[in-house]
Structure 1
Amino acid sequence: MSNMMTKICVSALALSIASEAAATEWNVSVWGKRRAFTEHIHKLAELVEEKTGGEFTMNISYGGLSKNTENLDGISIGAFEMAQFCAGYHPDKNRAITVLELPFLGVSNLDEEVAVSHAVYAHPAVAEEMAQWNAKMLMTSPMPQYNIVGTGEPRDEVAEFDGMRVRATGGLGKAFTAVGGVPTSVTSSEAYQAMESGVVDTVAFAQHAHLSFGTINQADWWTANLNPGTVNCPVVVNIDAYEALSDAEREALDSSVDEAIAYYLENYGKLLKQWDEVLEEKGVEKVMISDEELAKFRDVGGAPIRDAWIEEMSAQGIPAQELYDLVNTTLDEARATN
């Protein structure tokens, strides 16, 4: 009898080891804390686990695996299987997608932001550049147009941006430089401290980040309609890890992207509806910039930066004009279908 029991125990242990070996767990590197910007990653993990009966799970880590500015490096060496990053953190490593961070692209809502991002991500030049980092584009983290919160007197004229120290990265930083601003690219997690200590006068963020990183608590005013552009933050997967998935796991992952994005958009929409209440509650003045002043900003901070980007990227072998045109044709198509 004891011999039989031993055999049963050994068999059970072997089965347990086999099932553990068959299960796939991915580590996912993000930063900050759970917020509207990361909800699609949580939804994706939930859907994948559900579709695979718990055989494919994701361990989402907020800063425990890497610094946000080093997530692409971590993906390239296989330190984790999935990560989120923003193009402006290292524009030299992801040149092709910086087209999406050009100022004044004319993207007017999150649905359009998803459409242009995914169209650019699907371009062969992007796939080729990302492959250098062993990374494959999975989905975007769509953000509304950035606007600035600031301290002191509201700045509602372009001339008042001269000398303004602003936390802004990528194309936004270039746009503010064009009108005399002094951009600094402290990370999102450091923005509150930079504002509190007076290192910057203003911070450019989307609404969720002003809430999540506390900059709204330092603010006296907020520009409601500056809308200079936004940053582009993809979610990528390590190519080796993606190719090592079983067909069923890969299907579960790929087929969950659209639903995860739809969930993100619904969730973000609720936050945008509450925004005015937040401003009122915190006593933050809503600044509206005149059409005349906005036109000045666009003239100086829009077309010249776009033209310089196209010239510089083309010289580096990136099909810059093609990528810029793709953004515009995608916007036209998105508006036609709406």
Structure 2
Amino acid sequence: MKYLSSASIAAISLAFATEALAVEWNVSVWGKRREFTEHIEKIAELVEERSNGDFTMAISYGGLSNERENLDGISIGAFEMAQFCAGYHPDKNRAITVLELPLMGVETLEQEVAVARAIYAHPAVQDEMAQWNARLMMTSPMPQYNLVGTGEPRATVESLDGLRVRASGGIGELLAAEGAVPTSVTATEAYNAMESGVVDAVSFAQHAHLSFRTIDVADWWTENLNPGTVNCPVVVNIDAYEALSDENKAILEGAVDDAIQHYLDQYALLLEDWDNVLEEKEIEKVRFSDEELARLAEEAQPIHEAWIAEMTAQGLPGQELYDLARSSLAEAKAAGK
């Protein structure tokens, strides 16, 4: 009978230990790979590389959940990481909807990142997310939304009256205040809604107009309406995060800044080519006058005040969160972001 040497036993033990320590996370996103998901793709690449393959992520585009249920999936541990947008269920993530208020003055993606980071770090925000067993990991910075639409272009506040538009969050509130009829169909439903005439226009950032093909059926694009944007965090399941080794926690957190920078670099390339896309598809650029934009800014202020009052009535520090968003934006602009 042959006996294994002590060296062989040690090697086998090490192999089993290494296998046992390996971690694979499932990640739930939607649509297809695009600029909006590049930071997720990058963080998966980085954690695998920096952990020497001991920590990997399997990214699923719609195979694990739909976008409206990703936060629910995180809460029950159906997957370890997910992306969602606050406007899909504002009652579940009330505090971060401050980032979706219209016409807040954010001008760049770098400013968007800075403001989101400040809000995500606030204890009230973290506590609310913890109710869903979710830990905020990083934002998905998007430029100001604009509309693509069919039929006659809309270039005045009055022309928004009666416009059936896919818009959520603060953007939807602002447009509704001008007589538009917003609906919050999901991104994946937007093309069919527009093609079938259920909506006249869709509010998206540039990447989404391309990815979800709304640009393919559009006649016009509001070049400078810039009513606001939506906030779409990437979160991780708290139990899964706490189960990571200290080394893998450090690897995950250390990859965030690099992943965000990769996202910003990819989005910059898209924005550089946007005018070419509009020309190629013969989309008319529509510009609102300074007077029209100033009027919209006045209309936005009561929405801000109503948000503060509503959050305060619900026991959240509405004024504090609003002031934090404003101050962090001012700091970002002062820093030249």
Q: Could you tell me how far 1:3 is from its partner in structure 2?
A: 3.2
- Post-superposition CA distance 1:4-51 (Å, at most 9, x none): 589999887655443221100000000000000000011111111111
> Corresponding residue for 2:317?
319
Given the two structures, how large is their TM-score scaled by the length of structure 2?
Answer: 0.97
2:305 maps to 1:307:
yes
> Corresponding residue for 2:259?
260
Give the alignment partner of residue 331 of structure 1, picking from 297, 315, 329: 329
Could you tell me how far apart the structure 2 residues matched to 1:13 and 1:183 are? Answer: 62
> Corresponding residue for 1:289?
288
Could you tell me how far apart the structure 1 residues matched to 2:211 and 2:155 are? Answer: 25
Q: How does 1:233-252 map to 2 (within 5 A)?
A: 233-252=232-251
Q: Could you tell me how far 1:298 is from its partner in structure 2?
A: 1.9
> Corresponding residue for 2:37?
38
Identity of aligned residues (%): 68
> Corresponding residue for 2:18?
19
Residue segments in structure 1 that go unaligned for 5+ positions in a row: none
DSSP-derived class of the 1:54 partner = coil
Residue segments in structure 2 that go unaligned for 5+ positions in a row: none
Could you tell me how far apart the structure 1 residues matched to 2:149 and 2:5 are? Answer: 71
2:182 maps to 1:186:
no
Could you tell me how far apart the structure 2 residues matched to 1:320 and 1:29 are? Answer: 30
DSSP-derived class of the 1:286 partner = strand
Instruction: Look up the equivalent residue of 1:211 and give its one-letter code.
Output: L
The 4+ residue runs of structure 1 with deviation greater than 6 A are 5-13
Instruction: Look up the equivalent residue of 2:31 and give its one-letter code.
Output: G
> Corresponding residue for 1:81?
80
Alignment RMSD: 1.6
Instruction: Look up the equivalent residue of 1:76 and give its one-letter code.
Output: S
Could you tell me how far apart the structure 2 residues matched to 1:233 and 1:299 are? Answer: 26
Q: Could you tell me how far 1:71 is from its partner in structure 2?
A: 0.4
> Corresponding residue for 1:118?
117
DSSP-derived class of the 1:228 partner = coil
Count of aligned residue pairs for this structure pair: 336
- Post-superposition CA distance 1:160-209 (Å, at most 9, x none): 11110000011111111100000000000000000001000000000000
DSSP-derived class of the 1:255 partner = helix
Instruction: Look up the equivalent residue of 1:263 and give its one-letter code.
Output: H
Instruction: Look up the equivalent residue of 2:309 and give its one-letter code.
Output: E
Could you tell me how far apart the structure 2 residues matched to 1:171 and 1:289 are? Answer: 19
